[in-house]
Amino acid sequence: METLVIPVIAVLAALGVSGVKVTSSSRSMLVERLGKYNRQLQPGLSFVLPGVEKVVSHESLKERVLDIPPQQCITRDNVAIEVDAVVYWQLLEHSRAYYAVDNLQAAMVNLVLTQIRAEMGKLDLDQTFTTRQEVNEALLRELDQATDPWGVKVTRVELRDIRPSARVQDAMEQQMTAEREKRAAILRSEGERESQVNAAKGRAEALVLDAKAKQEALLLEAEAQSKQQVLLASARAEAAAALALTIDAHPAASESLRLLLAGDWMGMGGELARAPGGSVLMVDPQSPAALLTALRGLQERGGAPR
C-alpha cells in the first residue's frame, strides 16, 4: 500500500506544480476549461486545474510593431509605385483577438496592404509625396475601425517608403532638371532686367542732376548780372548826381566840360565817318547836357550817327 501512496503523491505534486501559473503585468493568458473559454489570468500568481483547464494563449499587452512588406500599388494617374509601411498596435482584449480571428498578425498585414492600395488609388503620383501625413492619418482611422472587433488598438501608421518604377524615376529626374533650368533662366532674366532698370535709373538721375546744376548755374549767372546792372545803374546815378552838383556849385566847370566833350566829339567824328550805317546826331554843342543825352540815345540804338 505504501508503495502506491508515494507515486500518487508524486503525481499529485507534479500536477500541482504544473498548475501554478505566474503572469506578469505586461502579458496575458487565456484559460479554457474542458475546451470552453473560462477566464483570463490576472497578473500575479494563478492556479490552473491540471487535466481540466489549459492555457491556450499567452500574448504580450505591450505596443508592438508590424512591418508591412513592400507591395505594388497603382495611383489614380495609372503610375506603378512600390509602398511599404510600419504599423504600431496594441492588444487590448486578448480573448476577442484569440477567438475572433485565426491568425491575428497575418490578418492585420493583409488588412493594411488592402487599405494602402485603396488609399494610393485615390491619389496622383505627385500627391503621394506631398500628402503622406494625410494618408497616414486616413490609414490610422480606417485600420483602427477595422480592427476594433478583434480587440486591437492601432496607435500609429507610417508610410516608410514610396518608390516609383525606374522609368518613372528617370522621367521625374528629367522634369526636375528642366524645372531647375527654367528657374535659373528666370532668375538670370530677372537679374538682367534689374541691371538694365538700375542703369536706366542711374542715367535718368544723372540727367536730372545735370539739368539742376545747369539751372542753378543760370540762376546764379542771372542773379550776378542783375546785381551788376544794379550796381552800374547806381554808380551812374551817383556820377550824374555828383556832376550835376559840381556844375551847380562851379558855373565855370561847364566850360571845361564843353571843352572835354568837344575833344571826345572830334574823336567820335572819325568813327562816324567809318560807320557802315548812318544815323543823324543833332545836338547843341553849347549844351553839355543835351550832348550827353544824344550820345546815350545813340548808344542804346546801337547805330552810328551821321
Spell 190-216 as b/e; 16+ CB within 10 A means b. Answer: eeeeeeeeeeeeeeeeeeeeeeeeeee
Contact 154, 89 (CB under 8 A): yes
Quick one: pLDDT at residue 17?
52
> In 3-state terms, what secondary structure has residue 19?
coil
Task: State the virtual CA torsion across 45, 49, 54, 58 in degrees, nearest 10.
Answer: 0
Quick one: pLDDT at residue 26?
77
Quick one: pLDDT at residue 86?
92
What is the Cα Rg of the chain in Å? Answer: 60
**Enclosing H/E stretch for 241:** helix 166-249
Quickly count: other Cβ atoms within 10 Å of residue 72's Cβ. 11
Quick one: pLDDT at residue 8?
45
Query: For residue 244, which amino acid is it?
Result: A
Contact 29, 22 (CB under 8 A): no
| DSSP-derived secondary structure letter, 131 | -
Contact 153, 90 (CB under 8 A): yes
For CATH 3.30.479.30, list the domain ranges present in the chain. Answer: 63-164
- Grid coordinates given for 172: 521625374
Quick one: pLDDT at residue 27?
84
Decide: residue 78, CB within 10 A, 0-12 exposed, 13-18 middle, 19+ buried.
exposed
Non-local CB neighbours of 277 within 8 Å, separated by 6+ positions? 303, 304
Place of cell 494610393: 120
Strands annotated E in the chain: 20-23, 27-33, 36-41, 44-47, 53-60, 63-74, 80-91, 152-164
Contact 114, 143 (CB under 8 A): no
> In 3-state terms, what secondary structure has residue 154?
strand
Task: Compute the distance between CA of residue 71 and CA of residue 115 in angstroms, rounded to an integer.
Answer: 12
* Residues 65-97 pLDDT 10s: 999 888 888 888 888 888 989 999 998 888 888
* Per-residue pLDDT tens digits of the chain, which is 306 residues long: 555 555 545 544 555 555 667 677 778 888 888 888 888 877 777 777 777 878 888 888 889 999 988 888 888 888 888 898 999 999 888 888 888 888 888 899 999 999 999 988 888 888 888 888 899 999 999 998 988 888 899 999 998 888 887 777 777 778 778 888 888 889 888 888 888 888 888 888 888 888 888 888 888 888 888 888 888 878 877 776 776 676 667 666 666 666 666 666 566 655 555 655 555 555 555 555 555 565 555 555 554 444
Quick one: pLDDT at residue 257?
62
Contact 120, 83 (CB under 8 A): yes
| Domain topology for 63-164 | Tetrahydropterin Synthase; Chain A (3.30.479)
Quick one: pLDDT at residue 87?
93
Task: Compute the distance between CA of residue 162 and CA of residue 83 in angstroms, rounded to an integer.
Answer: 5
| DSSP-derived secondary structure letter, 220 | H
